[in-house]
Amino acid sequence: MFVIAGATGKTGSATAKTLLEAGKRVRALVRDPKKAEGLAALGAQVVAVDLTDQAALGKAVAGAEGVYLLSPPDMAAKDFVTERKALTEKQVATLAAAKVPHVVLLSSIGAHLPDGHGPVRTLYILEQQLRQAGVPATFVRAGYFVENWGAVLHPVKQDGVLPTFFAADRAIPMVSTPDIGAVAARALLDGPRGFRAIELSGPTDPTSNEVAAAFSKLLGRPVKAVEAPLEAVVPTFTSFGISENVASLYREMYEGFASGHLKAAAGETVRGTVSLETTLGALLG
């Protein structure tokens, strides 16, 4: 039986569905079982567990063949890295105590690097915590989610403008979440192989200009990528209710991409199959 955390989220639901379609038993960890009725209908055992509750987490992972773990966003955090480090330390101790034989962690591009990548530092720390606790783990180091472009659909549709904090002609490893689900499910089925890292991106590494061109094709009218200065990251993110601390981490992440510091490690590389156009089309609905 495989245990999937964040099963109502984009990657957790994709991982769970892939395993269910392969005929595997799945225990889906959710906060609100009502949000997982679709997974229950597909045969998943749905269990209400808050990932901050270590007693509940320990019970939920007992006897699992493998666990899909993610570190969900916390856009309101006052000190995201410190707070998350304390939480993941407890979660890793829970997984170690339960003798979970294999964890597949949703990690990120750049998580092999100790710093200079904003929120990715939490995943660097979590990878280290799993290693130090001796919990066999596969790190799925996903590129920038194509679904992140859903945040700018309004200016894209309204004004034909794709605002971007990337240099418009810079190629960025991007991946669609169904590809993450497929790769995470595959890794769970493969079982533990010591500590394994998979650098995961989509079929291409598009530039923002190419993302704008794909939107333009889908909408049948011009869409232009317009670079926003990095000084605008914090004011823009905080204007959406994101904490100053988290917004500053995102600025550091964009700086990391801009300087070329934030990039994939050498090693096992996997490219997904879901095209940029497919996911942008799904976002447009």
Residues binding ligand NAP (CB under 6 A):
6, 8-12, 31-32, 35, 50-52, 70-73, 106, 108, 123, 142, 144-145, 148
CB of 222 vs ligand NAP, minimal distance in Å: 26
Q: In the complex, which residue's CB is closest to ligand NAP?
A: 9
Q: Tell me whether residue 29 or residue 223 sits nearer to ligand NAP (CB atom).
A: 29
Closest to ligand NAP by CB, 54 or 219: 54
Q: What backbone torsions phi and psi does residue 151 show, to the nearest 5 degrees?
A: -70, -15
Q: What is the spatial distance between Cα 91 and Cα 51, in angstroms, rounded to a whole number?
A: 8
First to last CA, the chain: 34
Name the minimum Å distance from CB 36 to ligand NAP. 8
Q: CA–CA distance from 278 to each of 173, 176, 211, 215, 282 (Å)?
A: 16, 9, 12, 11, 6
Q: How many other CB atoms are there within 10 angstroms of residue 76's CB atom?
A: 11
Minimum gap (Å) between residue 67 Cβ and ligand NAP: 13
Which tokens belong to 61? 């992972």
Residue 68 near residue 181 (C-beta atoms within 8 A): no
Nearer to ligand NAP, 36 or 219 (CB): 36
Cβ 71 to ligand NAP shortest distance, Å? 4
How far apart are the C-alpha atoms of 216 and 214, rounded to whole Å? 5
Q: Which is nearer to ligand NAP, 11 or 207 (CB)?
A: 11
Q: How far is the CB of 220 from ligand NAP (least distance, A)?
A: 28
**Residue 76, amino acid:** A
Q: Output 108 or 138, the one with its CB closest to ligand NAP.
A: 108
- The amino acid occupying position 67 is V
